[in-house]
Amino acid sequence: MDIIVILFLVIGLFFFLGGAVGIIRMPDFYTRLHPAGKLDTLGIFAMVTGLSLYNLQHFSFEALLLSAKMFLIVFFVFLSSPTATHSIVDAGMRAGLRHWTKKKRRG
Amino acid sequence: MSTFFLSIALGLLFLMLFSMYRALFGPTVLDRLIGVNAIGSKTVILLLLIGFLYERVDMFVDIALAYAFLNFVAVLAASRYFHKRKGLYEESFMD
Amino acid sequence: MTDSNNNVAKKVGDTRAAFFKSFFSFLITFVFMFLSWIVLSGKFDPLLLWLGGISSFFVAYYFYDLLFPAMEPGYGKVFFRFISYVPWLIWEIIKANFHLLYLAFHPQMKDLIDPHIITFKTNLKSDIAITTLANSITLTPGTITVTADSDGVFRVHAIDRESADALPGTMLKKVAKVFGEKI
């Protein structure tokens, strides 16, 4: 059981690492949104799955409620993360920021 | 297991420094917003891990839930606020 | 769908069917709120359960048309089809996330990515179908919905050609099937 929990946590940390590296390396703010909004969401999903499995090791009704509460966080993040991303993109579009393209870099 | 949780929490803190770079030196305001959002989503997990370390998960899970709500509202309000602001385009970075 | 609270209240007096419709959505909102109360509080004292029942009654009484507006006859069917849509979506998210991870760690990332904005039109009518499709597109990495208006026109920012080509294909079909709309 511990091995599964460790696996989930490491996978989640790996997703978070990808998100952080992507935020640093991407060339423009629209492309930066891609790793920021979504790799973090999946990282939260994986880590909360691992933590709630660890929580359910000593099984009781309170532990079950606690795990349900943790999955409420995941549910909320899955709803709110696209909304926040869309809101930031909308602000950028209204401000008139143009997006980075390949041709601009060559020519 | 508690040592492992501690190391995962330290790793998350280290990754927060990456996002902190974007929040501090981002070329536009929206880049800083992305950095702050990324830090917030890592903080939710960090709060859960702290709860497991102190063995008070029942309390810390509420704090994490409230923090997730707060992070969402903060990002939404800030991006709505910068709709009408000037100075976003001048800060642009087109090379 | 756009009925305001007053309109619904007037109709309640008029016909029996409308009353049952709004009462049904009231009941679903009440049950939903009460379940959230139980999960969030986690205590089973009679006093706390009583307080939760009262407060979720008031919330459901005033906001019953906000969360589940206009109960259709086939609403339960739509709900179960939506539940069966979620695992496919999660699998798709995981698959596409690994693609994005590969992009983020690739040394020559700037040659691989090719950001551009694509526009496509769909025939989706209802607001909830458009919202579901827009949020699903945003959750699938590589694509972000920029605008989605009520005519069904989507503008999507895609990070490379591969994720842009996959776009209004199977996901649109699945969403249209869930909400029972024609493509």
**How many angstroms separate the first and last alpha carbons of chain C?**
21
Q: Between these two residues, C67 and A26, which has the higher pLDDT value?
A: A26
Determine the pLDDT at residue C72: 61
Q: Do C39 and A65 touch (CB under 8 A)?
A: yes
Residues C92 and C169 in one domain: yes
How many structural domains are present in chain C? Answer: 2
Is C136 within a domain? yes
Residues C156 and C82 in one domain: yes
Task: List the beta strands (DSSP E) in chain B.
Answer: none
Please tell me which residue of chain A has the smallest CA distance to B58.
Answer: A66
Domain range for A7: 2-99
Is A107 within a domain? no
Q: Is C133 on the interface with A (CB under 8 A)?
A: no
In tens, the pLDDT along B57-93 reads: 888 888 988 999 999 999 899 888 877 665 555 444 4
Please tell me which residue of chain A has the smallest CA distance to B82.
Answer: A91
Token pair belonging to C108: 């020559």
Is A72 within a domain? yes
Q: Between these two residues, C62 and C152, which has the higher pLDDT value?
A: C62
Residues C136 and C164 in one domain: yes
Residues C26 and C86 in one domain: no
Is C159 within a domain? yes
Is A11 within a domain? yes
In tens, the pLDDT along C111-161 reads: 777 777 888 777 777 777 788 888 888 888 778 888 877 777 888 888 777
Within 10 angstroms of residue A59's Cβ, the number of other Cβ atoms is 9
User: Quick one: which of B71, B83, B73, B95 has its CA closest to B30?
Assistant: B83
CB nearest to A42's CB, from C94, C114, C146: C94
**How many angstroms separate the first and last alpha carbons of chain B?**
49
In tens, the pLDDT along A77-104 reads: 888 888 888 888 888 877 766 666 666 5
Determine the pLDDT at residue C29: 85
Q: Give me the amino acid identity at B29.
A: V
Q: Give percent of chain C above pLDDT 70.
A: 81
Within 10 angstroms of residue C176's Cβ, the number of other Cβ atoms is 17
Q: How far is C39 from chain A (nearest CA, A)?
A: 6
Q: Do C97 and A101 touch (CB under 8 A)?
A: no
The position carrying tokens 């979506």 is C89
What Rg value do the Cα atoms of chain A yield, rounded?
A: 18
Residues C51 and C90 in one domain: no
Is C59 within a domain? yes
Determine the pLDDT at residue B73: 92
CA A92 to chain centre: 21
Its ipTM equals 0.81
Domain range for C15: 5-67
Is A105 within a domain? no
Highest mean pLDDT out of A53-62, C2-11, C118-127:
A53-62
Is A20 within a domain? yes
Determine the pLDDT at residue B24: 87
Is C80 within a domain? yes
Residues C54 and C86 in one domain: no
Q: Do B88 and A95 touch (CB under 8 A)?
A: yes
Please give the Cα distance from B60 to A91 (Å, whole number): 33
Q: Do C104 and A21 touch (CB under 8 A)?
A: yes
Q: How far is A18 from chain C (nearest CA, A)?
A: 6
Please give the Cα distance from A48 to B68 (Å, whole number): 13
Is C114 within a domain? yes
3-state helix, strand and coil shares in percent for chain B, rounded to the nearest 5? 80, 0, 20
C71, pLDDT greater than 70: no
